[in-house]
Every structure is written in structure tokens, then in C-alpha cells.
């Protein structure tokens, strides 16, 4: 009777183990048969109802069955474990014959690249580089540059004010005043100032935030011809040796005489096209001899020294150099655009 029971339990365990597919099922089976209230455990309790001479033999049978079941459970657990491992290995299998994945290597933004090209050209010509504050005082942005209060020239550079006297700089020129004031009176300077500037403007060729590069030289006997030679060299270096350069009279409160500089159109070479509005020329920068008032206002003596200054837009140079017709492309971070550089 008991023997049959034990055999039945062993058989049932075999079948149930075979059907279980997860560790949890196997653990349940162990509890169901071998646990404190398990089926094999209760058979053990029935031993006391047997005649004493039969007890040792049946007891051995129960113990043997326990051993068999424990072994079967252990085997099943191991089987499940190695199945899981095999599945994991399969899932993570590496196909070493696949071609390698090319890492995405970044590169300079076209504006940054342009700025660096410009900087390098000037550094080779012996300029030092300084940067200045983007939040600027009206005093440096206008007053020290000979913009009288309420002068209409201020309207050329409509700005974003933080307080009545503090604004986002509209150009890098305030650094002219800061540089001169930071030097001994009449001490020679030769510096460029790259950086962000801000204006109340937004269209295909104007952004409220853009970049300029300012240049300033002050020393004894600096002449307009020095300015012409230097800028012509620079522009040929950036746009190519066949580039023609022309100076047109212009006005800035802080330079006298002032000029605007054009280069022969980079698209048509001067023939006339849509880009240059059929003039053959492109306006590229503003410049001039430092106004005597600016020298005086910033501690220099216009009778002893002279100088010139120039300022140009980095975006504009990048657009012309790379043939980009909408400035907003620079700020949209569209990889299809950026990857072309």
C-alpha cells in the first residue's frame, strides 16, 4: 500500500518536473512533495501505523524516494539554468563577420571654423587676441566711441537694453575703449577681439545674436595705407589671391575717415549676379582711422599716436566663403547642413 503511494509520488514528480518550464514551478514541486506538509513527508508520518517490523524497510524506501526527488529537482533546476544561459548567449551573440560601426566623429561648426581661420590670419600678422563682456555699459558701447547722446548713429545699432545704462553690446568696438584704457597713455596696441554681439534684427541675413571680429592698431605713424594693405592681405588670404578689394567712404562716429570695404563677388568673380545684386561687389566690413576724439576720450594723445580699427561679421564671412544664402542655417543644428563642412 505505502509502497504504491511512494511509487505514485515519484512518478507524479517526474511528470510535473518535465512539464515545468521555470524555476518557480520547480520550487513549488519541491515544497509540494518534500516540504513540511508535503506529500512524501506525510507518508513518513504514516509509518507509525505500520507493524514495527515493516517500519525500517519502508522508512528506507521513503528516504530513497526523497533522495531521488531531490536529485531530480536539482537536475531540473540546473537544466533550466543552462537553458537560460544558452538563450542569453544566443541573444547576445556577436557576429564577428559584421562590418565595424563607424563612430560619429564631430567637427568644428562652420562659424567656429571661420572664426578660427580669421584669428589665425591675424595672429600670424602679430595681433594679440582678447575677449570682452557681452553685457556692456552704454559708456563703452557708445560714449567712449564718440557717439554723442541722442546721436542718430545710435539708431544704426538698435540694441537690447538691460537697464538704461547697460545693454547687450551691439558691436565689439567697445573693446577699443577698454583696451586703450587698460594701457598706459600712448602705449602701442595691436589686438583683435572676436565675440558675440546683439542687435534688434532678424531676417535671412540678420540674426539678433551674431559674431564679430574687431581689430585695433594704435602706434606712432599709423596711416590709412597700413589699414588698406593689412585688410587686403587678410581678405585675399580668406577668399583667395584673385579677390579684388575696394574701399568706399562711409561713416562711423569712432573713425575718421571711415570706410566700408567690398570684395569682388565670390560667386561671379565680379561679373554681376544675384548674390551681389549685379554690382560685382560684396560689402564685407567697416573700418577707419581711429577718431582723435576716441584716442583722447580713452587717454591717448592724437598728436603723438594714430591708429586704425576694423570690424567684421563672422557670419557674413562664413556665408560668402561657403556660399550659404540663409544665415539662420548656422543656428538650426540641422546635421544635413552641418555635415557638409
Among 288, 294, 319, 327, binds ligand PHE (CB under 6 A): 288
Report if residue 252 touches ligand PHE, rule: CB under 6 A.
yes
246 close to 281: Cβ distance less than 8 angstroms: yes
Among 141, 146, 159, 173, binds ligand PHE (CB under 6 A): 173
Report if residue 287 touches ligand PHE, rule: CB under 6 A.
yes
Contact mark string toward ligand PHE, 2..21, x via CB under 6 A: --------------------
Instruction: State the angle between helix axes of 110-124 and 314-322 in degrees (0 to 180), rounded to the nearest 10.
Output: 100
Dist CA 128 CA 217 (whole Å) = 10
Among 65, 286, 298, 314, binds ligand PHE (CB under 6 A): 286
CB-based burial label for 98 (10 Å; 0-12, 13-18, 19+)? exposed
CB of 110 vs ligand PHE, minimal distance in Å: 21
- Parallel, antiparallel, or unpaired: how do β-strands 209-219 and 306-313 relate? antiparallel
The one segment of 105-113, 123-131, 229-237, 280-288 that binds ligand PHE by CB under 6 A: 280-288
CB of 173 vs ligand PHE, minimal distance in Å: 4
Residues sharing a CB contact under 8 Å with residue 181, sequence separation 6 or more, in sequence order: 144, 298, 299
C-alpha cell at 45: 508520518
Side by side, which strands form the sheet with 306-313?
Answer: 128-129, 189-198, 209-219, 306-313, 281-290, 255-264, 245-252
Among 132, 174, 195, 311, binds ligand PHE (CB under 6 A): 311
Contact mark string toward ligand PHE, 64..103, x via CB under 6 A: ----------------------------------------
Report if residue 169 touches ligand PHE, rule: CB under 6 A.
no
Dist CA 53 CA 289 (whole Å) = 126
The one segment of 46-54, 99-107, 185-193, 281-289 that binds ligand PHE by CB under 6 A: 281-289
DSSP letters of 298-332?
TT--TTT-EEEEEEEEHHHHHHHHHT---GGGGGS
167 close to 159: Cβ distance less than 8 angstroms: yes
CB of 168 vs ligand PHE, minimal distance in Å: 13
Among 255, 264, 298, 306, binds ligand PHE (CB under 6 A): 255
Q: Name which of 67 and 148 has its Cβ closer to ligand PHE.
A: 148
Structural element, H or E, at residue 77: helix 55-91
Instruction: State the angle between helix axes of 39-46 and 23-34 in degrees (0 to 180), rounded to the nearest 10.
Output: 10
The one segment of 31-39, 99-107, 177-185, 309-317 that binds ligand PHE by CB under 6 A: 309-317
Contact mark string toward ligand PHE, 198..217, x via CB under 6 A: ----------------x---
What is the number of the residue whose Cβ is closest to ligand PHE?
311
Q: Name which of 13 and 189 has its Cβ closer to ligand PHE.
A: 189
Which phi and psi angles does 248 have, rounded to 5°?
-120, 140
- Residues near ligand PHE (CB under 6 A): 171, 173, 214, 252, 255, 286-288, 309-311
Amino acid at each position: 500500500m505505502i509502497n504504491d503511494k511512494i511509487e505514485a509520488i515519484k512518478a507524479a514528480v517526474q511528470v510535473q518536473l518535465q512539464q515545468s518550464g521555470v524555476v518557480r514551478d520547480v520550487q513549488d514541486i519541491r515544497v509540494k512533495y518534500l516540504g513540511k506538509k508535503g506529500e512524501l513527508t506525510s507518508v513518513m508520518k504514516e509509518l507509525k501505523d505500520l507493524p514495527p517490523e515493516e517500519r525500517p524497510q519502508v522508512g528506507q524506501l521513503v528516504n530513497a524516494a526523497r533522495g531521488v526527488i531531490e536529485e531530480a529537482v536539482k537536475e531540473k533546476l540546473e537544466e533550466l539554468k543552462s537553458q537560460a544561459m544558452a538563450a542569453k548567449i544566443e541573444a547576445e551573440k556577436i557576429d564577428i563577420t559584421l562590418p565595424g560601426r563607424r563612430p560619429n566623429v564631430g567637427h568644428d561648426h562652420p562659424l567656429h571654423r571661420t572664426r578660427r581661420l580669421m584669428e589665425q590670419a591675424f595672429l600670424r600678422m602679430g595681433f594679440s587676441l582678447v575677449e570682452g563682456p557681452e553685457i556692456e555699459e552704454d559708456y563703452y558701447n557708445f560714449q567712449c566711441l564718440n557717439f554723442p547722446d541722442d546721436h542718430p548713429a545710435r539708431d544704426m545699432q538698435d540694441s537690447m537694453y538691460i537697464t538704461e545704462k547697460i545693454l547687450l553690446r551691439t558691436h565689439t568696438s567697445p573693446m577699443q575703449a577698454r583696451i586703450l584704457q587698460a594701457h598706459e597713455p600712448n602705449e602701442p596696441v595691436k589686438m583683435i577681439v572676436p565675440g558675440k554681439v546683439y542687435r534688434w534684427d532678424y531676417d535671412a541675413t540678420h540674426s539678433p545674436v551674431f559674431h564679430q571680429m574687431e581689430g585695433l592698431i594704435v602706434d606712432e605713424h599709423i596711416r590709412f595705407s597700413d589699414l588698406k594693405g593689412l585688410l587686403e592681405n587678410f581678405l585675399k588670404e580668406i577668399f583667395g589671391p584673385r579677390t579684388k578689394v575696394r574701399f568706399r567712404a562711409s561713416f562711423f562716429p569712432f573713425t575718421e575717415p571711415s570706410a566700408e570695404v567690398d570684395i569682388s563677388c565670390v560667386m561671379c568673380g565680379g561679373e554681376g549676379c544675384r548674390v551681389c545684386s549685379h554690382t560685382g561687389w560684396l560689402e564685407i566690413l567697416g573700418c577707419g582711422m581711429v577718431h582723435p576724439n576716441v584716442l583722447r576720450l580713452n587717454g591717448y594723445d592724437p598728436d603723438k599716436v594714430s591708429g586704425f580699427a576694423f570690424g567684421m561679421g563672422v557670419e557674413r564671412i562664413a556665408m560668402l566663403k561657403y556660399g550659404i544664402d540663409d544665415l539662420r542655417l548656422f543656428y538650426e543644428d540641422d546635421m544635413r547642413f552641418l555635415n557638409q563642412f
